[in-house]
Chains A and B, each alone.
Chain A
Amino acid sequence: MVEQEIPEVKTAKKQQISQNYWSLVWWKFRRNRLAVFGGIMIVIFYLVCGVFAEFFTPYILQYQSNYLEARPQSLVFKNKEGHFSLRPAVYGLEEQIDMVLRKRSYAVDRTKIYPLYFFVKGQPYRLFGFIPANVHLFGTNPADAEAHAFLLGTDRLGRDVLSRIIYGGRLSLLLGLIGQVLTFVVGTVMGVISGYYGGTTDIVVQRMTEFVGAFPDIPLFMALAAAIPVTWSPMLVYFMLTLILVFIRWGGLARQVRGLILSLREREYVLAARSAGASDIRLMFRHLLPGTMSHVIVIATLMIPGMIISETALSWLGLGLRPPLTSWGVLLQEVSSVRSIRFAPWLLLPVPFVILAVLSFNMLGDGLRDALDPYGGR
């Protein structure tokens, strides 16, 4: 003999079920903190390195200081008199010459303190390539000619590593993005055509991608990149590299799209559309393709890290981009010898940035994959 009350929770549940697909996707994505973190990191990367590099870097790309292979200057919170101050500053560098090893190196000189200012008027640049400006996010006092702040050290030619990493990110990240967009377009179109028409078209495309796929990608990539004449202009080289990346990668994407199309092709809504008189092209791109989009976006996102890594690897080996173009891979060219690792290890600092970018894309892609299947249980 029990009396019970019915709780009024039913309405809330109903709301959840009747929400549409995209809000469910967004809600599930938001719950995955790693994915959100990845997404935010990528946005930051592209904003800082891609668009506003000139603003975020303390020095412009080509600037060569007199401090060659100087170690990173650590941040302290003191003012010029040496007392505590909220404004960050760096210690100066003192040149030391090691007669035995015949090396010049730099040691921390605590007598010199250079405070950092924000939104300083530093070296001039052109925003977006045409707007003249000279405001940098941070830097030393422009009036003080001796002041310098190399937060990540300098390289062989005295260039600020932090600035070079940010500028390098621009090329590396853009190459990855543009390359992937092109691969996406080519791969999707070919995959849809191949999957939809079947028959000879399908077999031809299949054989082609199989053949390209028989080569392990990095050695093939290297061979093709080595074929680019040294005499071509850097921009042309960049363009060709992108094309090579696309050429090698589109097959994989096409095959996945083809598989999806094959499974969707016989569904009833396709038959219904066809019997209503839809043309092939309309069927392919208006009906079948959207059904594959969620999977394809995930696959495409997860392919970007591979592109970035390939470019970095090639450039590092000297087979890809070359100076004066600056990418992360080019930056790593300077550390190919054991010697540089020992004496100037800060030159390895592009590596954590590459790893962070790759991880971010992976987290984002993974989160997208989970979110785009909001009905799958966990």
Chain B
Amino acid sequence: MLSYILRRLGYVLIMLVLVSFVSFLIIELPPGDFLTQKLQELQARGDRSAEMRIAEYRARYGLDQPLLERYWIWVSHFVRGDFGESFAFERPVTEVIGQRAGMSVILALSTITLVWLLAIPIGVYSATHQYSLGDQVFTTISFIGLGMPGFLLALLVLFFAMVFLGQEVGGLFSRQFQDAPWSFGKFVDLLKHLWIPALISAVTGTASLIRIMRGNLLDTLGQPFVEAARARGLKERTVVWKHAVRVALTPLVVILGTEALPNIVAGDALVSTVLNLPTVGPLYVQALQVQDMYLAGTVLVFIVGVTMIGSLLADLVLAALDPRIRLE
């Protein structure tokens, strides 16, 4: 087991290195660089010494060196926890990303938790009360939620909240609480803002999970061991939850690792931009727009890293859940 984990971690590391290289390449693709833009800006403002200053910057960031060298310098500093400097913010990347990275992870985790807490009971109910009114209602709702683009929903929810509820939405805190120390009031304010991203992830995330859970459970309930369990005198509820659901859960965990997590991380970029949440997403978009190389590159590596580690964790949970997989 331990060797398996170590092997997977090693694989993740290798992938991250490759990913960092490819990210670097991609971000370098557009002709010119951040500084060319800045040069144009400064010149437009009539700054005569612009060229000299830009040349200084260039030397400082090593932008006059060939691509591979620049990449190597960047990557080799990873070990020290130095991910380069952001041009746009003129601060180290680690500082800029800093808290936002943590927020991204927290948001992703809470989304997953919320979605699962909702979807599994509903899915089980749908399967055990197949074709009932409740089942049909849930199926319809999840059908609508399926494929509903998160960020568009965010726009709509934003609109309704603003117009009909008169709330100042966007961001995680209202202005007065933004930099204030934690207090009960701040916590309430957080909740007032948190319900929108929570609602959005609930709708889009639970829809597909409900359908999958329902389908899986229906299949599982038809299997012989369920009937055998019932024949031993177990309560129907025990048969369903302790035996059927436990077995039906396995494919869901697989999906968690391979689809749910990447979707949440990817969707984060868009939804967070709409709602102005302090996560890594909006930062990434901005960095791309101005070609802030190191910032964008680091964020991309971070996103891929989170996805891969999440996938690894999902695999571990899978092994814990299903003894048939452990022997591999």
Contact = CB atoms under 8 A, between A and B. Distances in A.
Direct contact of A and B (CB under 8 A): yes
Contact of A222 (B151, B170, B284): B284
B30 A226 contact: yes
A211 B288 contact: no
Interface string B258-282: 0000110111011001000000000
Interface string A210-245: 010011111110111011110000000000000000
A216 B304 contact: yes
B15 interface: yes
B15 to A, nearest CB: 6
Given A359-B144, A359-B147, A219 B269 contact: yes
Interface string B112-152: 00000000000000000000000000000001101111011
A143 interface: no
A223 B149 contact: no
Contact of B148 (A211, A229, A358): A358
Interface in A324-378: 332, 335, 338, 341-342, 345, 348, 351, 354-355, 358-359, 361-363, 366
A227 B29 contact: yes
A319 B289 contact: yes
A216 B162 contact: no
Contacts of A228: 30
Nearest to B267: A218
B162 A222 contact: no
Interface in A291-338: 305, 309, 312-313, 316-319, 332, 335, 338
A203 to B, nearest CB: 16
A224 B30 CA distance: 9
Contacts of A222: 269, 284-285, 288
Nearest to B26: A223
B159 A216 contact: no
Contacts, number: 112
B63 interface: no
B159 A223 contact: no
A218 B269 CA distance: 8
A316 B300 CA distance: 20
Contacts of A305: 147
Which of A211, A216, A305, A361 gathers the greatest number of chain B CB atoms within 10 Å?
A216
Contacts of A351: 152, 155-156
Which of B18, B23, B149 gathers the greatest number of chain A CB atoms within 10 Å?
B149
B18 A219 contact: no
B163 interface: yes
B31 A216 contact: no
Contacts of A366: 143
Interface size on B, as a range, is 35 or more
B97 interface: no
A223 B300 CA distance: 9
A353 B69 CA distance: 48
A17 to B, nearest CB: 24
Contacts of A215: 19, 300, 303-304
Given A223-B26, A362-B147, A348 B304 contact: no
A217 B266 contact: yes
Given A223-B27, A224-B26, A216 B156 contact: no
Contacts of A34: 143
Given A214-B15, A313-B270, A359-B144, A342 B289 contact: no
A218 B284 CA distance: 11
Nearest to A309: B149
B308 interface: yes
Given A214-B304, A223-B27, A362-B146, A354 B152 contact: yes
B307 interface: yes
B180 to A, nearest CB: 22
Interface string B2-33: 00000000000001001100110011011100
Which of B22, B147, B163 gathers the greatest number of chain A CB atoms within 10 Å?
B147
B23 A223 contact: yes
A342 B299 CA distance: 32
A355 B148 contact: yes
A219 B147 contact: no
Contact of B19 (A214, A226, A312, A354): A214
Given A218-B269, A222-B285, A366-B143, 7 more contacts: A214-B19, A214-B308, A215-B304, A216-B263, A222-B284, A341-B162, A351-B152
Interface of A: 34, 211, 214-220, 222-224, 226-229, 305, 309, 312-313, 316-319, 332, 335, 338, 341-342, 345, 348, 351, 354-355, 358-359, 361-363, 366
24 contacts: A34-B143, A216-B266, A217-B262, A217-B266, A218-B266, A218-B267, A219-B284, A223-B296, A224-B26, A226-B289, A227-B26, A227-B29, A228-B30, A229-B30, A229-B31, A317-B285, A319-B288, A342-B163, A345-B163, A348-B156, A348-B159, A359-B148, A362-B146, A366-B143
